[in-house]
């Protein structure tokens, strides 16, 4: 989306979806949606900021 106008900047075809209520989700800097042929594929889109850094190791 354009930051000033809110207009779509990119449109992608992700295929069909067998579910009546597909719910996209966001986790670890990725947008996850269903698609493909028959809605049997999970597609992941990386955000503009990229993936987050790896977490720090647990203290010993």
pTM over 0.75: no
pLDDT in tens, 1-51: 788 998 988 888 887 766 666 788 888 888 888 887 776 788 888 877 777
At 19, list the tokens: 């579910």
Look at the block and give the residue holding tokens 């992941």.
Answer: 44
CA–CA separation, 47 and 8 (whole Å): 15
Can you tell me whether residue 11 is helix, strand or coil? coil
């Amino acid at each position: 989306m354009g930051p000033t106008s809110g207009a779509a900047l990119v449109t992608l075809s992700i295929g069909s979806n067998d579910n009546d209520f597909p719910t996209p989700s966001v986790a670890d800097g990725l947008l996850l949606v269903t698609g493909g042929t028959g809605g049997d594929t999970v597609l992941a889109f990386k955000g503009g900021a990229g993936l987050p850094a790896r977490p720090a190791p647990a203290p010993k």
